[in-house]
Amino acid sequence: MSDIAIRPTRLADGRELIYFDDAGSALPPERSADPRHLDPRPPTATMRLDLLTGDWVSIASARQNRAFLPPAEFDPLSPQSETNPSEVPSRYDVAVFENRSPSFGPALGDAEDAPEGLEDLARLAVGRTRTSVGRTEVVCFDPRTAGSLADLTPNRVRTVVEAWTHRTAALSAMPGVEQVFPFENRGEAIGVTLHHPHGQIYAYPYVTPRTQRLLDTVDRYDGDLFADLLEFERGGERVVLESGSFTAFVPFAARWPVELHLLPHRHVADFTELTDAEKDELSRVYLRLLRAVDALYDTPTPYISAWHQAPVHTHRDRVRLNLQITSPRRGPDRLKFLAGSEAAMGAWIGDLVPEQTAERLRVALATADAERPL
């Protein structure tokens, strides 16, 4: 969207910071320099191969230094003030910056001992390591110190969608990046350590285990998996919301007490393949879905909002951009914990009937639309 201004700059330690100004923003184009004196960034973490599963584990011990539920006056994601030397020097609408203690990066694919492609990562041997190249970014949805994306205006959500699109394109072009994953964790029950409305973007040096299982299924399936799945769900009773270009539904085999998926009606591999009109529409649809999830109970619902995109270099014509919102909340004061069967064996047991969850979400959507019309 041409009306959303994109203003890149750098933080005091060289990390990239990008301001995304709303369409019609009242903010001036000038941005303050970062006046802080910062320690050098920690070295890039190292990945270790789990020989039992073939999964790579990034050992990123610098993450232990992350801020943990600071008071609002010391919010590290608010615009800087005289008493709060935060990560963002200027006022902003939406801001994206490199994480100071990243799980992947800042080194990229030309670093020493970097992965040498997917075939290199697939080789099995005891004690294998590689540098955890890639990028980990923080996306600040709003300068306010509390809330979530559901509390924003449609115009601001549209700016967030544009930020996801811009960063997906930029990160996908970086050497060594194999998959880009925008997501939002919301609520202390999920493990959130900052109340500020924000999300993250991970640029992985491999195709994630979850996506590898999907690729295997796509390869084994006789037909267009996502097209057939969408047709099946649109013909059932689990649809929660339909628009001109998107359908949201509770999946047939839902794992979580609250699980809501969204698919575009045409094939797009990631955010970069959406048209401006589709991004406009998606912004409003997504906002309505998040508000419906919040309207299920009297208090805000903890959730993970995960944007699954096709890998950068494979299966782009067969893996479709899809959103999966999940919550462990199975009642007003009850959570689903991943214990023996799910955590140890990956064998899930659903606590709620998906068709009943879909009906509850449709009622919650109607309530949210009435209380906060767009």
364 vs 188, which has greater pLDDT? 364
Beta strands in the chain (DSSP E): 5-10, 16-21, 46-50, 55-59, 94-98, 129-131, 135-140, 179-186, 198-204, 239-242, 246-249, 258-264, 303-308, 322-327, 329-331, 334-335
pLDDT of 1 over the 60 cut: no
Give yes or no for a contact between 327 and 256, defined as CB atoms under 8 angstroms apart: yes
Structure confidence at residue 67 (pLDDT)? 63
- Contact predicate 141/164, CB 8 Å: no
- What pLDDT was estimated at residue 66? 65
How confident is the model at residue 65, as a pLDDT? 66
Q: Which residues contact 118 (CB under 8 A, 6 or more apart)?
A: 178, 206, 207, 313, 314
Find the radius of gyration of the CA atoms of the chain: 21
Considering the entire predicted model, what is its pTM?
Answer: 0.96
Q: 369 pLDDT exceeds 90?
A: yes
Residue position matching structure tokens 């040096």: 205
Per-residue pLDDT reduced to its tens digit, 207-218: 999 999 999 999
- Residue-range domains of the chain with CATH: 5-206 (3.30.428.10), 211-371 (3.30.428.10)
What value does the mean pLDDT take over residues 66-75? 77
Q: Which residues lie below 8 Å from residue 317, measured CB to CB, with a gap of 6+?
A: 267, 269
Q: How far apart are CA 220 and CA 224, in angstroms?
A: 11
265 is catalytic: no
- The CA distance from 297 to 283, in Å, is 23
- Angle at 170 (CA atoms; ends 187, 9), nearest 5 degrees: 80
Residues in contact with 186: Cβ distance below 8 Å, sequence separation at least 6, in sequence order: 148, 149, 192, 300, 301, 302, 303, 304, 305
Question: How many other CB atoms are there within 10 angstroms of residue 169's CB atom?
Answer: 13
Non-local (6+) Cβ contacts of 356 within 8 A are none
Residues of the chain with pLDDT > 90, as a percent, come to 87
pLDDT number for residue 337: 87
Range with the poorest average pLDDT among 92-101, 143-152, 188-197, 297-306: 188-197
Long-range Cβ contact pairs of 348-354 (< 8 A, separation 24 or more): 348/255, 350/253, 350/254, 350/255, 350/256, 351/257, 352/254, 352/257, 354/238, 354/250, 354/251, 354/252, 354/253, 354/254, 354/259
Q: Which residues of 350-361 are buried (b: 16+ CB within 10 A; e: fewer)?
A: eebebeebbebb
Tell me the per-residue pLDDT of 112-137, one tens digit each, with 9 for 90 and over.
Answer: 999 999 999 999 999 999 999 999 99
Mean pLDDT of 45-54: 97
Model confidence pLDDT, tens digit, residues 257-306: 999 999 999 999 999 999 999 999 999 999 999 999 999 999 999 999 99
Which tens digit of pLDDT belongs to each residue from 22-35? 999 999 999 999 99
- The β-bridge relationship of strands 46-50 and 55-59 is antiparallel
Nearest to 162 by CA among 20, 308, 351, 39: 20
- Active site residue: 195, 196, 198, 261, which one? 198
Confidence of residue 72 (pLDDT cuts 50, 70, 90): confident
Evaluate whether 84 touches 75 at the Cβ level (below 8 Å): yes
Give yes or no for a contact between 8 and 21, defined as CB atoms under 8 angstroms apart.
Answer: no
Q: How far apart are CA 123 and CA 98, in angstroms?
A: 30
